[in-house]
Amino acid sequence: EEHLRLAGWLLGDDPAAVAEARARVLELFPILEKRIAEMAGNLSGGEQQMLALAQSFICRPSLLMIDELSLGLAPTVVGQLPDVVRRIHEQGTTIVLVEQSVNVALALAQRALFMEKGEVRFEGPTAELLERPDILRSVFIAGTNSRDGTAKSANSPGLSSGGTTNRASSQNGDAPVVLECREVTKRFGGIQAVDAVDLELRRGHILGLIGQNGAGKTTLLDCVSGFLTIDGGRVLLRGHDISD
Question: For residue 13, with 0-12 CB atoms within 10 Å meaning exposed, 13-18 middle and 19 or more buried, which class applies?
Answer: exposed
Is residue 81 within a helix (H) or strand (E), and if so which, with residue range? helix 75-90
Q: Which amino acid is at 71?
A: L
Is the CB of residue 126 less than 8 Å from the CB of residue 111? Answer: yes
pTM for the full model?
0.54
How far, in Å, CA of 159 to CA of 116, rounded? 25
* Reduced 3-state DSSP string for 12-51: CCCHHHHHHHHHHHHHHCHHHHHCCCCCHHHCCHHHHHHH
Q: Kindly give the interhelix angle for 75-90 and 45-57, rounded to the nearest 10 degrees.
A: 10
Ordered per-residue pLDDT tens for the chain, 244 residues: 999 989 988 887 888 888 888 898 898 888 899 999 989 988 877 788 889 888 988 888 889 998 888 776 767 777 777 888 888 888 888 999 988 777 788 788 889 888 888 888 889 888 887 777 777 766 554 443 444 444 343 333 333 334 444 444 445 678 899 999 999 999 887 778 899 999 999 999 999 998 776 788 888 999 999 999 999 999 999 999 999 8
Distance of alpha carbon 170 from alpha carbon 159, whole angstroms: 12
What gap in Å lies between CA 113 and CA 90, rounded to an integer?
21
Comparing CA positions, the residue from 192, 179, 196 lying closest to residue 237 is: 179
With beta carbons less than 8 A apart as the criterion, state whether 23 and 30 touch: no
Quickly count: other Cβ atoms within 10 Å of residue 11's Cβ: 18
